[in-house]
């Protein structure tokens, strides 16, 4: 959404807009920061970026939860630092598993992206 739309102002000047290109009639998503265009992406690329943003937001929440738990329990922050490294490596390994990265058509069983 552009900043002049009816969304509540956040203080962050970032907008996203869907377009149909005149050159090829295909849908694209434009992203901009302030007055500078960040890029124009295919719909698939835009969905991938959106998923990455959602994933990173979830990861940040999980990291903050661990941090808050250690503070609440008055556990040593040195231990948190070690745990956080191990936790992030484990999370990365889990994310790399292909089980959740692909799915199949329920009718044909064909693998889909």
Task: Evaluate whether 14 touches 2 at the Cβ level (below 8 Å).
Answer: no
Assess if residue 108 is contained within a domain.
no
pTM: predicted TM-score of the whole model, two decimal places? 0.68
In a domain, 59, yes or no: yes
The pLDDT value recorded for residue 13 is: 86
Residue 10 lies in a domain: no
Query: Is 34 among the domain residues?
Result: no
Taking the C-alpha atoms of residue 78 and residue 54, their distance in angstroms, rounded to an integer, is: 29
- pLDDT digit string (tens) for the chain, length 113 residues: 554 555 566 677 889 999 999 999 999 999 998 779 999 999 999 999 999 999 999 999 999 999 999 999 999 999 999 999 999 999 999 888 855 556 666 667 676 65
47 vs 71: CA distance, rounded Å: 36
Quote the domain boundaries for residue 77.
52-97
Distance CA 44, CA 21 (A): 15
pLDDT of residue 4: 53
Per-residue DSSP letter, 101: T
Quick check: is 77 in a domain?
yes
CA distance 108 to 26: 28
Backbone region of residue 97 per phi and psi (left: phi > 0; alpha: psi in -120 to 50; beta: other values):
beta
Decide if 16 is inside a domain. no
**What pLDDT is stored for residue 104 in this prediction?**
67
- Count up the domains in the chain and report the number: 1
What is each CA distance from 58 to 21, 31, 51, 77, 91, in whole angstroms?
A: 33, 22, 11, 22, 11
Does residue 58 fall inside a structural domain? yes
100's tokens: 């959740």
Is 39 part of a structural domain of the chain? Answer: no
């Amino acid at each position: 959404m552009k900043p002049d739309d009816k969304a509540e102002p956040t203080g962050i000047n970032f907008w996203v807009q869907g377009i149909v290109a005149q050159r090829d009639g295909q849908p694209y998503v434009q992203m901009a920061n302030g007055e500078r265009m960040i890029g124009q992406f295919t719909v698939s690329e835009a969905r991938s970026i959106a998923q990455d943003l959602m994933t990173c937001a979830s990861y940040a929440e999980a990291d903050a939860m661990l941090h808050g738990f250690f503070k609440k329990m008055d556990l040593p922050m040195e231990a948190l630092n070690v745990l956080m490294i191990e936790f992030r490596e484990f999370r990365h390994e889990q994310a790399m598993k292909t089980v959740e990265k692909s799915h199949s058509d329920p009718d044909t069983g064909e693998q889909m992206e």
